[in-house]
Every structure is written in C-alpha cells, then in structure tokens.
Amino acid sequence: MIVSGYRVDVEEASRWIRANGIRRALLQAPPGLREPAIRLAEELSGHLECVFFDCGGCWGGCDLAVHRAKAIGADGIIHLGHAPFLEKAPIPTLYLECRRADPRPLLEMLDSLEEGIRDLGSLGLGMTVQWLDYVEAVREKLARHGLKIRVGDPSPPLRYAGQVLGCCYNPLLRLSDAVNGYLIVGSRFHGLGLALQTHKPVYSLDPELRRIYDSSSEAGRLLKSRYAYIGRFRAAGRIGVILSVKPGQYRLGLARRLVSLLRSRGKHAEVLVMDDVSLDRLRDSGFRGFVNTACPRLSIEDQMGFEDPILLPAEALVAIGEMRWEEVVRTSRYFSMEA
Ligand code: SF4
C-alpha cells in the first residue's frame, strides 16, 4: 500500500510475522512515518494479538527499541523507515524500509542542476534509503547532462549500493580519487555529514523541499565553530564521556579508553550512560565538557544552543594533543568511532 507517498510492504510484514511466530509486536517509526505506522498496524491487526506503538526515539536503524520491547514482553520489533543496521538484532526485528513511491520530485530537479555541479564532470552519488530505488534513473539522467556517476558498494552498516547514512559514507570516500565531487540525495543533513569528511565539493539535493545545498560551504563555516569548542573543552575540568545504550550506538570500549586517556591528561573524566542523549540532562549532569561516543551527528546538530562542548572522539584527541586538527578535519577520521 502507499501511505503519505511511501510504499509500505504489508505482505512482507505479514510474511515475517508468520515466519517468526510473532504474537505481540512493538512498532517503531520516526515522526515522519507515524501515519504509515498507524495504517500498517490496522492492516496487521488480524495477524497479531496486539501491537504496541513505541513512543521513544527512532533516529535511525541503530536506534532499535530492544529494552522497551523486552519490558513489554514483545516477541519482535517492526522498525519502519530505516534499512537494516545491526548485524544481529537481540530480538526478532523486521526493518520495513518504506521507500518513496514517486521519483518525479527527484528526477525533475536534476534538469535544473546549476552549472557549478555539471562542470564537475564526475560525481559520487549517495542516497538515503527512501530514494534508493531510483539510483539507476538518476545515473541515466545525469549521464544525459554529461556527468559520469560512480556509486559506492555496500559495506556494513550500509546494506545497498549507493546508500548513505548520516554517520557513514565510507564507500563514497573510497571513490575519492575517481570523482571530482559528490551529490547526496536526501537532505541537507545527509550532505553535510559527507562534506565534513572530504575536501571535494559536496552538494545535497532535498527532493521534499525541492532545494539544493552547497554542503561544502556549510561544512567550512561549521568547522570553524567546532575548533572554538575544542578550545572550551581544554578549559573544562570535569568531562563526561557519553555512552548510549542504543544497540547500534553502544561503544563501551571506546568510552572507557577515552576516560583513561583523559584522566592521564589530568581531567576528571567519567562515563555517562544514557539512552536518548538529552541536552537538559547533560546540563544537569555536573560535567562541563562532553565526549560523544553515541551518534556522531549529536555533536554537530545538538551543539548549537548548548553552551558546553560536546566533542566527537577525534576532536577530543585533538583537544588533548593526541592528534592535530589538520589530520582529522575533512577526513574519514572525523566521524571515526574506533576504540
Ligand atoms: S548513528 Fe546517527 S546518523 Fe547513524 S544511523 Fe544512527 S541516528 Fe543515523
């Protein structure tokens, strides 16, 4: 069925329910997919004893509501809108992707690409999962405008050729020598994440808003403010290292290594355990500087309007002199969450 412009595969959901003997399911959906979630629950009512709607965070495929599902005795989770993320979910899980039913808003925009983009000659193309059905259509259309398109291969946690996540662009970054720039289809958010990790020009195309953004310029402005936060972090005495319990963001080894490094540099550092990272809770935590081992985009998107620095692990290493800013910025190390 098609709901709010998204294809929702009811058959796939009912097959999964039968195959896994699910009676009680927890249904997770991001805010933009609440209507498809409600319609799906109606369609599935004959197949299930009961469906519970999860009202916690649903930020990405990493954010699986395992703890809440277990608390209510659910047999499984139906997670809408994101591609499979975890290699092995701790509870039976169906990632139901809900791809865009109509390519026209996207394809029409390609006819009016500005000259600066067309002049690049070759582009690495990345897309959010909602638009992935149209990779070939976009490639063909851009070829008619004289652009050579390369698409990255799947590589965990990315499941599909051409897919990007706000935290992962590795296949595209590996194409760096073969392309002159990048085009990311999805949103401003998705293009910015790549632009922070490369010197090549990055443009983001948002078919919903019908806008194209120069993400590289935005990244340049943002990186200046990030460097200022690194300075504030150096001055902070007590540091909280944020550890999220979300299954796809849980990095205990990294958090502990950062605590021990920070202590060795004279900081008072502790691990702060959270589910959704709330700025109000950070403000009340008693710590005045933070390192974020959860979703890297929290440091970028949530920092504005928050007085204390919330650094990425790589930025924290720069702050304590383990790395130089030039070694990190506009490279894949910037979002690295390696322990
Ligand atoms: S870690 Fe962040 S950017 Fe990556 S999938 Fe999860 S919510 Fe999205």
Classify domain 104-218 at the CATH topology level: Rossmann fold (3.40.50)
C-alpha to C-alpha distance for 5 and 8, rounded to whole angstroms = 9
Q: Across the chain, what does the average pLDDT equal?
A: 96
16 lines ligand 1 (CB under 6 A): no
Q: Residue 339's pLDDT band (boundaries 50, 70, 90)?
A: low
- What is the atom index within ligand 1 of the atom nearest the CA of 85? 5
C-alpha to C-alpha distance for 138 and 106, rounded to whole angstroms = 8
Q: Which of the following CATH numbers is that of domain 2-96: 3.30.365.10, 3.40.50.11840, 3.40.50.720, 3.90.180.10?
A: 3.40.50.11840
Q: Please tell me the pTM assigned to this model.
A: 0.96
List strands edge to edge, sheet with 268-274. 268-274, 238-244, 289-292, 310-311
Q: Which helix (H) or strand (E) holds 2?
A: strand 2-3
Averaged over 71-96, what is the pLDDT? 97
pLDDT digits 0-9 by tens, 189-215: 999 999 999 999 999 999 999 999 999
Q: Whose CA is nearest to atom 5 of ligand 1?
A: 60
Q: Are 130 and 99 in contact (CB under 8 A)?
A: yes
Averaged over 167-174, what is the pLDDT? 98
C-alpha to C-alpha distance for 249 and 294, rounded to whole angstroms = 5
pLDDT of residue 338 exceeding 90:
no
pLDDT digits 0-9 by tens, 273-329: 999 999 999 999 999 999 999 999 999 999 988 999 999 999 999 999 999 999 999
Domains 104-218 and 236-335 share a fold: yes
- What is the atom index within ligand 1 of the atom nearest the CA of 168? 4
Residues contacting residue 309 through CB under 8 Å, at least 6 positions apart? 229, 230, 232, 233, 236, 289, 290, 303
Under CATH, which number does the domain 236-335 receive? 3.40.50.11860
Q: Domain boundaries in the chain?
A: 2-96, 104-218, 236-335
Q: Are 261 and 339 in contact (CB under 8 A)?
A: no
